Every structure is written in C-alpha cells, then in structure tokens.
C-alpha cells in the first residue's frame, strides 16, 4: 500500500515542479529587456530614450499617435502591444472605468514624491486615489498667431480683447482666411471651447447648447483652411509662415516659434492667452492592463519622474511638467514664460478637462463632424 500510494505523490510533485518552472519562465519573459511606448509626436527630448536605454539596457520601441481617440480605440480593441501609453486625463478616466489600465505599484516609483500635490489633486478627479496614471506633461489648447501676418490681414481692424474672436468671430476669421487658419482635428478639443465661447457650459449635456455652438461654428467654417490631425501637422506650417492663426496646443505653437527663430526667415509667432481661457489638458503615463513588460514600464515612469529628466522634457518641448523638484533644472527663460507656466489669474480662466458620458460624447462627435463637413 505504501509503495503504491507513493507513485501518485511523486507524479504530483513532478507536476508541481513543472508548473513552477513554467511560472518562472513566464515571469522571466515579462522581464526581458524590452519596452514598448505609445506617445504623442514631438513630445519627448531627443536623448530621453537613448539615456534610459544606456542606463537600464532596456531596448525601447517608441511609436506615435495623433489623437486621444486613436489611442483609445487601440486600448479598447485590446492586445495593443504597448507597455506605456500617454492618454489625456479625460480619456484615461474612461479607460480606468473600463478596466483597460493597470494599477501602479508605487513602491517601484521612488521619485513619485516629486509630483506637485496640486496636479495630483487635478488628476484624482479622473483617477481616484491616483492609482493608475501619472502626469507626463500639461498644457492647454489656445490660439497661436503669426503677428505680422495677422496685423497685415486685419488692416485697420484692431486686435480683439478676446483672442478667440480671431477664429470664432466671422468678421475676424474671414480676414485671416487668406493667410491660413488651422483647427485641431479633434472634437474633444474644439467643441468645449466653442461651447464656452457662446456662453454655454463647456461640458454641457444639453443638445440645445450644442446646437448653439454648431450655429457659431457653421458661420466661421468657410474661413478654416485646414484641420490638423496632430501638432506636427501645423508646427512646420507655422514656422515657415504658411499659417497665420491656429487653434492648437500651447507647447506645439512654442515649438514652431523656436523652429522659426532658428530659420533664415524667422516668423513673429506668439501663443495667446485668451481672455476667456484655453482648454487645460494633462497628458498622463499609464500601463495597459495587458502590458507584457509592466516592471520595465515602472522603471521608465520612475526615470521620467527624476527632476532632471522631467525638466529636460519641458526644456525640449515647451510644455509644463508636474514635477515640483524639476523647476530648478528648467531653463530660466522657459520657467518665466507665462505661455508655458501661466500665472494664477490665467489658470483661473482655463476650462478644466471634462469627463463626458457616452451620450455627451456622441453630441460632441456629431457637432464636430457636422462642423468639418460644413453642414
């Protein structure tokens, strides 16, 4: 009896051992020196990836997307193949609620303490407890202009007190059409601003409010000469003087300004801070639920949260960062630039990120689609 009973015991032990080896192999596969990142274009310092790889030995595949909608669709489809993604906080909220993002292991983020509590409080509105996302950089959607070309196009007409009049008021927009007017090709960026411009709640759920915004947009649609899918679609156009007014992202307009300043024929480019404010956004680092290299992802997040590294991002792409320890390493001219770090009064006018429900998202999309189609 004893001998017979020992045989299944031995088989069981062998099976347990085999399972342990398999589990170990799975963990080992997760820890291979690979990291797949999906981020916006023109949104990182030139040496960030190179320096991270040099320090850690982790090989990075770095791809770009041009809209929150594109990233969201990939995450919803599943098996994106990415370990780090950079969604806007308002989209991250949807992704968290849908179970698409992994909870962060803060014990692996030694530099987490560098984050500004004020920014963390903003993100907590989208991510209770700050469990899933960490801010990458932040900025705002606003109006950027070529001062010389706009002045020439307006002629005797004075610059408006509210910069949004340049693109939303027909008498101004018509005059700028000839020198090029570009809008972001993103519903979630344009429609909240349009709502506020016509005196409505920028995050309204009322169909009537969207009709009011649509009527205003219809009047200026003939003056919009192009829609830009990403910052890279208008940065070079601005820098070379082919656009005189854009509705774009603050840092991208400043990148265009920096590029132009280094060109043979520099343009007089400026980021405007509209009287009624811009649309605030926080772009965040997150780990997809099905990421194959979560440990490497945590290493990258912690690397970015180093004061010097986060400062290098701001110095390169002209967006503010959430890292209070980094300010001492930010170039003085950038740290003092109100277009990068708006003052308290300007921040008070900003439209905060919204978290629309499904029905409201349909209203936003329909209003923008009709605007583009001029109907």
Q: How many whole angstroms separate alpha carbon 57 and alpha carbon 50?
A: 10
**Fold match between 31-138+282-343 and 139-280+353-373?**
yes
For residue 137, the tally of other CB atoms under 10 A from its CB is 25
Fold of the domain spanning 139-280+353-373: D-Maltodextrin-Binding Protein; domain 2 (3.40.190)
Residue-level pLDDT, tens digit, the chain, 375 residues: 333 344 444 544 544 444 544 444 444 454 699 999 999 988 999 999 999 999 999 999 999 998 898 999 999 999 999 999 999 999 999 999 999 999 999 999 999 999 999 999 999 999 999 999 999 999 999 999 999 999 999 999 999 999 999 999 999 999 999 999 999 999 999 999 999 999 999 999 999 999 999 999 999 999 999 999 776 789 999 999 999 999 999 999 999 999 999 988 899 999 999 999 999 999 999 999 999 999 999 999 999 999 999 999 999 999 999 999 999 999 999 999 999 999 999 999 999 999 899 999 999 999 999 999 998
Q: Considering only CA atoms, which of 122, 115, 53 is closest in space to residue 88? A: 122
With a CB cutoff of 8 Å and minimum separation 6, the contacts of 132 are 92, 96, 101, 102, 103, 104, 286
Give φ, ψ of 285 to 5 degrees: -90, 135
The CA-atom distances, in angstroms, between 10 and each of 15, 80, 153 are 9, 42, 88
For residue 24, the tally of other CB atoms under 10 A from its CB is 10
For residue 233, the tally of other CB atoms under 10 A from its CB is 19
Give φ, ψ of 201 to 5 degrees: -65, 125
Question: Is it true that domain 31-138+282-343 has CATH number 3.40.190.10?
Answer: yes
| Whether 344 contacts 71, CB under 8 Å | no
Q: How many whole angstroms separate alpha carbon 359 and alpha carbon 30?
A: 39
**pTM, 2 dp:** 0.88
The domains of the chain are located at 31-138+282-343, 139-280+353-373
């Amino acid at each position: 009896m004893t001998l017979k009973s020992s045989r299944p015991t031995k088989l069981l032990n062998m099976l347990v051992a085999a399972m342990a080896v398999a589990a170990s192999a799975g963990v080992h596969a997760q820890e291979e020196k690979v990291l797949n990142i999906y981020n916006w274009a023109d949104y990182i310092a030139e040496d960030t990836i190179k320096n991270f790889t040099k320090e850690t030995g982790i090989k990075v595949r770095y791809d770009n997307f041009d809209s929150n909608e594109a990233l969201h669709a990939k995450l919803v489809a599943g098996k994106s193949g990415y370990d780090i993604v950079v969604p806007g906080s308002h989209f991250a909220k949807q992704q968290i609620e849908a179970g698409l993002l992994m909870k962060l292991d803060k014990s692996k983020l030694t530099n987490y303490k560098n984050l500004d509590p004020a920014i963390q409080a903003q993100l907590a509105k989208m991510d209770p407890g700050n469990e899933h996302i960490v801010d990458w950089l932040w900025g705002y959607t606003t109006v950027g202009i070529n001062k010389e070309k706009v002045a020439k196009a307006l002629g005797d007409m004075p610059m408006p007190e509210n910069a949004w009049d340049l693109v939303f008021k027909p008498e101004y927009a018509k005059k700028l059409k000839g020198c090029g007017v570009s809008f972001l090709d993103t519903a979630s960026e344009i429609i909240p601003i349009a709502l506020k411009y016509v005196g409505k709640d920028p995050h309204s759920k009322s169909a009537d409010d969207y009709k009011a915004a649509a009527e205003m947009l219809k009047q200026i649609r003939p003056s919009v000469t192009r829609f830009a899918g990403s910052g890279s679609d208008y940065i070079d156009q601005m820098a070379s003087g082919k656009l005189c007014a854009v509705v774009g992202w603050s840092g991208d307009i400043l990148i265009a300004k920096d590029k132009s300043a280094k060109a043979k024929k520099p343009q007089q480019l400026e980021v405007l801070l509209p009287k009624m404010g811009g649309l605030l956004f926080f772009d965040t680092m997150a780990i997809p639920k099905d990421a194959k290299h979560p440990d490497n992802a945590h290493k990258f997040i912690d690397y970015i949260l180093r004061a010097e590294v986060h400062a290098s991002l701001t110095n390169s792409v002209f967006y503010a960062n959430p890292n209070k320890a980094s300010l001492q390493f930010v170039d003085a001219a950038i740290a003092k630039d109100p277009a990068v770090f708006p003052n308290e009064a300007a921040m008070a006018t900003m439209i905060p990120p919204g978290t629309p429900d499904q029905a409201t998202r349909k209203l936003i999309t329909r209003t923008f689609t009709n605007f583009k189609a001029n109907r």
